[in-house]
Amino acid sequence: MQNPALAWATPTPALVATGLGALALAVAAAAAASDPVGRLLIGLAALGLAVITAMGLRQRPRLAVLDGAHGIAVTGILGRREYHRADLARIRIVRYPRLGRRVPMLEIDVRPAGADDDRLMIFGRWDLGTDPNDVFDALVVQQLVPPDPPRHD
């Protein structure tokens, strides 16, 4: 189970906008009967927006804190996975360059019990529907952010 107050997903208005954009482009592609290349390109754009909308709807909520702050739940294309507090290897904010500026991304590194490899998940504003810094702060309050291990440089 998850706490609905501590769940983050792509904003519904954004998904409505991408869905309406896909519909508008599909209509435009159907109306472009005299231009086969334009029809193809507009149709591909409509398909792309439709896929983005479907993925956003399928992955709701994208990230959630489990009841009692025992861990997190992450919803992806293939379904929901839960990671307990002991599985969380590292959670941090990393700033990536995007369009000439550095934007915060939430990185969650997990190592499920019995697994040989870590799993790195990266969430941006689109995934979370809010500033990743705010989500990080909420995870700190829930005591889900493990302490950084010492560096051996």
How large a percentage of the chain has pLDDT more than 90?
69
Task: Looking at the structure, tell me whether residues 75 and 123 fall in a common domain.
Answer: yes
Looking at residue 143, the DSSP 8-state letter turns out to be: T
Domain-located, residue 147:
no
Q: How many other CB atoms are found less than 10 A from the CB of residue 72?
A: 26
CA-angle at 137, arms to 133 and 141, nearest 5°: 170
Q: Tokens 């501590």: give the residue.
A: 6
Kindly give, in sequence order, each residue whose CB lies less than 8 Å from that of residue 117, ignoring residues fewer than 6 positions away. Answer: 111
Could you tell me the two tokens for 110? 């997990």
Domain count, the chain: 2
Looking at the fold, whether 45 and 96 belong to one and the same domain comes out as no
Residues 84 and 134 in one domain: yes
Domain assignment of residue 21, given as a range: 11-58
Tell me phi and psi for residue 92, to 5 degrees. Answer: -155, 165
Categorize the per-residue pLDDT at 54 as very low, low, confident or very high, splitting at 50, 70 and 90: very high
* pLDDT tens digit sequence for 66-93: 988 789 999 999 999 999 998 999 999 9
Q: What is the CATH number of the domain that holds 70?
A: 2.30.29
Residue 98 · residue 40 · CB < 8 Å = no
| Local confidence band at 4 (pLDDT 50, 70, 90 cut-offs) | low
The pLDDT tens digits of the residues spanning 105-146 come to: 999 999 887 777 889 999 999 999 999 999 999 999 999 988
Amino acid, res. 20: L
The verdict on 71 and 131 lying in the same domain is yes
97-116: pLDDT as tens digits: 888 889 999 999 998 877 77
